[in-house]
A and B are shown apart, each in its own frame.
Chain A
Amino acid sequence: MLHPKSPPTGQYFDGTNAGFISVDLTIGADGLRLRGAEREIFWPRREWVLVSVIGAARAPHSFRLSVKSDPDARLVVDGTHFAEFAAADPKLFDPDRGTRRMAGLVLGLVGASAALLAVLFFGIPAASGPLARATSRDLEAQMGRNMTSQINLIMRPCKDQDEALALLAPALNRLATAGEVGFPIEFRFVSVGVPNAFALPGGQVMATSGLLDAVGDQDQFFAVIAHELNHVKRRHGMQAFYRNLGLGLGLELVTGGSGVAQQGVTLAAQVTQLRHTRNHEREADRDALALLAAEGLDPAALARAFEAITARAPVGDEADEGVRLTLPGKVRVRIPDWLRSHPDLDERISAARALAKPARTRLLSDADWATVKSACANG
């Protein structure tokens, strides 16, 4: 038992009101005795709670104690008595205790986060394929139609394209049937200057007026369409939906706020997403080349289409395949592979060129192609 020559004093807030009384303190091996206002209270040592330490951890200005059985009560003690209390309960007053507890917490959180990371970055993308295949085709088609109607609020369909669509329908059906796409294709042109084409879930395919302007001939056009049809076949849109929903929702919910950490985690997630997007593009390219070859069309038309699109695309745009970025001063920098939404363009062009074979057939007559080419002439 400790017997300090001059007992420490403190301010005691009993937790029932905001007043305090000055108390004399006696620290014993079994606990703390508070004396004041002609009364006495005993706080067993096992119930002590160190609420806060004001000032430096080893030489505080003051510190506050409470007890588990009376969590509202506070005893404020001058920091000069810290050592006496620390001698009575070295574990509770250990200045490194907080650091050790924090280290334990962080380790636990890191472990839990690793599990969460595995689920979000690997589990959800891995599950997106089976989930997409398990989704009923009718549901996917309905989703695709609704998405199209919403997208068309922003990307307006070209005004006078009915004749062009009628001319295109047999060719599209032929490619879709040969490619075993598995969905009826609903195709339309949208009035957007950037040369591009894209596939939504359930057989919805769109091409921009910019693409019509960019491509040099119908072979290039159908090569791009063959690529999009294979996105439909492999249900990439549906996979992306599940992946984005799971990853996006998970990230949005887990990483609140807008701090540096959130930006870092979000960036990591975007890089992960890009990896999956590149894989889908590779698959669609590979299948498109096979489909073109099987239908007697020249696979190298896809390479020429890429070149034509790149030549027309605004720099830095998605249709530029995200390969190069033009900085102020016309400085062109190459974007690293892992930051691209699409595979390396040179590789894609080379792969298509490697399979070059003169076309044995044409899907449209020159006159029909001219009509298609002018589908967006009136905006």
Chain B
Amino acid sequence: MTEISSGRDWGLGPVSQPAATTTQDLKVANDSTIGPMLWIGFYTSVLGFFTFTIFRFWGRTQFRRRLWSETTVGDEPLEYTGRGMELFLGAVLAILTVMLPTIGSVVAAQLFLGAAAFAFVVPLIYLVVFFLIGAAVFLARRYHLSRTTYRGVRFAQTGSATAYGLKTLGYLLLTVLTLGWAGPWARIRLSRNLWAKACYGDEKFEFAPDEEAKRQPVYLSFALMWVGGVAVYVGLIYTIYSLGLNDRIQSGDLGAIGIVYALLLPAGILIAVFSVWHEAAITRRITGSLSVAGLRLSSKITAWDLVSVMITNVLLVIFTLGFGFMAAQMRLWKLFANRLRIEGTIDFAKIQQNADRGPKHGEGMADGLDIAANF
């Protein structure tokens, strides 16, 4: 036997036995429970209040550590290696380098430009913000993947935040111009853009739909969502005007405002019901397009799965006065994990570590733009 002082010098190389590392079909499961996540959500909110919300970076990290560690792929848990301080530094840097100059420019434009010039500048501001949202999504994902390891090997995201930001902006404009009809196509293209440049170790993900993914009723479900959404919207406006609520609201009648909110609730539920079929279909379409290192992914998620989790999540958040938000997100994650299938054969010993350790800090821009998700 050779004794060396540290693991890196051990020089094990591919010492594992191939027979032991080749695996057929990986079962994905999450066994998180609500209690611990409610507790994390509760103390993150309470401590957030006393720390000017800064504790959220550490709370989010603890949430992810727990959620990742309770999610297993082939009985082996994921590991989240990010730190609260990295998120905090990311936020500070984003504030200083992007948010402050952007907001400063907007304020300066408001103050020093006349109405005509400012009206011209407003669309530009929106374009910049949508570009920044795209770039922020990319950067957050790069950080996210670099801090996710499985069997000691990191995930990674390659590509350019600027390019992704510009593509997001372009697809968004196209979606607006087509009254939303380019939306599903744009969403799949953007997903492909991200996933085709994502890696597990040195293995790149591939984005190509299999036959089942191609059969998903993405546009049929979108048509139902679109028509249903328009019908609900028109019905809502008609009801507000026919009951004379608009005039009562303008005169400050709080009762009328209450009625409108009471109407918005069923309208929102109806729109959500019209949306879930599409959401399930596009999730199956995107997931069914993914493969990596000989494994093909697919999702068995259904509209009913989404409806039941969404409704109970809304109730969870309401009845916990918002403290249950993280627990609600855990339930959504759990649903996606438990409906995920990974089929094929993989030889783990052939998956080499990714050399990219990712950024030293992360998600700052996403946090600044209020789009940072807990997972």
Q: Is the CB of A39 within 8 A of B2?
A: yes
Q: Is the CB of A109 within 8 A of B51?
A: yes
Complex: A210 Cα to B90 Cα, angstroms: 50
Q: Is the CB of B1 within 8 A of A262?
A: no
List residues 90-133 of chain A with CB under 8 A from any CB of chain B: 102, 105-106, 109-110, 112-113, 116-117
Closest Cβ of chain A to B157, distance in Å, is 18
From A63-71, A177-185, A284-292, A300-308, the one touching the partner chain is A63-71
Task: Give every chain A residue within 8 A of B251 (Cβ-Cβ).
Answer: 314
A261 within 8 A of B: yes
B219 within 8 A of A: no
Task: Give every chain B residue within 8 A of A13 (Cβ-Cβ).
Answer: 151-153
B254 within 8 A of A: yes
Task: Give every chain B residue within 8 A of A113 (Cβ-Cβ).
Answer: 50-52, 54
Q: Is the CB of A261 within 8 A of B115?
A: no
B252 within 8 A of A: yes
Complex: A286 Cα to B110 Cα, angstroms: 32
Q: Is the CB of B56 within 8 A of A261?
A: yes
Q: Is the CB of A150 within 8 A of B2?
A: no
Task: Give every chain A residue within 8 A of B100 (Cβ-Cβ).
Answer: 249, 253
Task: Give every chain A residue within 8 A of B10 (Cβ-Cβ).
Answer: 14, 39, 41
Closest Cβ of chain A to B177, distance in Å, is 25
Q: Is the CB of B48 within 8 A of A146?
A: no
Q: Is the CB of B7 within 8 A of A18?
A: no
A365 within 8 A of B: no
Closest Cβ of chain B to A33, distance in Å, is 8
Q: Is the CB of B53 within 8 A of A18?
A: no
Which of B47, B91, B150, B252 sits near A18, CB closer than 8 Å?
A: B150
Q: Is the CB of A17 within 8 A of B7?
A: no
Q: Is the CB of A317 within 8 A of B15?
A: no
A143 within 8 A of B: yes
User: Given A105-B58, A109-B54: A152 and B115 within 8 A (CB)?
Assistant: yes
B105 within 8 A of A: no
Q: Is the CB of B349 within 8 A of A17?
A: yes
Q: Is the CB of B16 within 8 A of A262?
A: no
Q: Residue-by-residue, is B4-36 near A (CB-CB < 8 Å gives 1, otherwise 0)?
A: 111110101111110011000000000000000
From B182-190, B228-236, B274-282, B321-329, the one touching the partner chain is B321-329
Q: Is the CB of A67 within 8 A of B53?
A: no
Q: Is the CB of B6 within 8 A of A16?
A: no
Q: Is the CB of A149 within 8 A of B115?
A: yes
Q: Is the CB of B351 within 8 A of A149?
A: no
Interface residues contributed by chain A, number (CB under 8 Å): 73
B370 within 8 A of A: yes
Complex: A179 Cα to B16 Cα, angstroms: 89
Task: Give every chain B residue within 8 A of A258 (Cβ-Cβ).
Answer: 370
Q: Is the CB of A146 within 8 A of B113?
A: yes
Q: Is the CB of B69 within 8 A of A54?
A: yes
Complex: A14 Cα to B52 Cα, angstroms: 41
From A211-219, A271-279, A322-330, A355-363, the one touching the partner chain is A322-330
Residue of B nearest to A194 (CB): B252
Q: Is the CB of B115 within 8 A of A14?
A: no
Closest Cβ of chain A to B12, distance in Å, is 5
Task: Give every chain A residue within 8 A of B220 (Cβ-Cβ).
Answer: none
Q: Is the CB of B151 within 8 A of A259?
A: no
Most buried by B among A38, A74, A258, A260: A260
Residue of A nearest to B153 (CB): A18
User: Given A113-B51, A315-B252, A328-B255: A17 and B201 within 8 A (CB)?
Assistant: yes
Q: Which residues of B contact A (CB under 8 A)?
A: 1-8, 10, 12-17, 20-21, 44-56, 58, 65, 69-70, 77, 79, 81, 84, 91, 95, 99-100, 103, 107, 110-116, 118-119, 149-154, 201, 250-255, 258, 321-323, 325, 348-353, 367-368, 370, 372
A-B pairs with lowest CB-CB distance, top 3: A261-B48, A13-B152, A19-B16
A-B CB contact pairs (8 Å), 11 listed: A20-B16, A37-B12, A42-B3, A52-B79, A69-B6, A142-B111, A150-B115, A245-B107, A256-B372, A258-B370, A259-B45
Seed contacts A17-B153, A146-B115, A249-B103; 20 additional CB < 8 Å A-B pairs? A14-B15, A18-B21, A18-B151, A41-B3, A41-B7, A51-B79, A70-B8, A106-B47, A116-B52, A146-B114, A146-B118, A150-B118, A245-B107, A256-B53, A256-B56, A259-B53, A265-B52, A265-B53, A314-B252, A329-B255
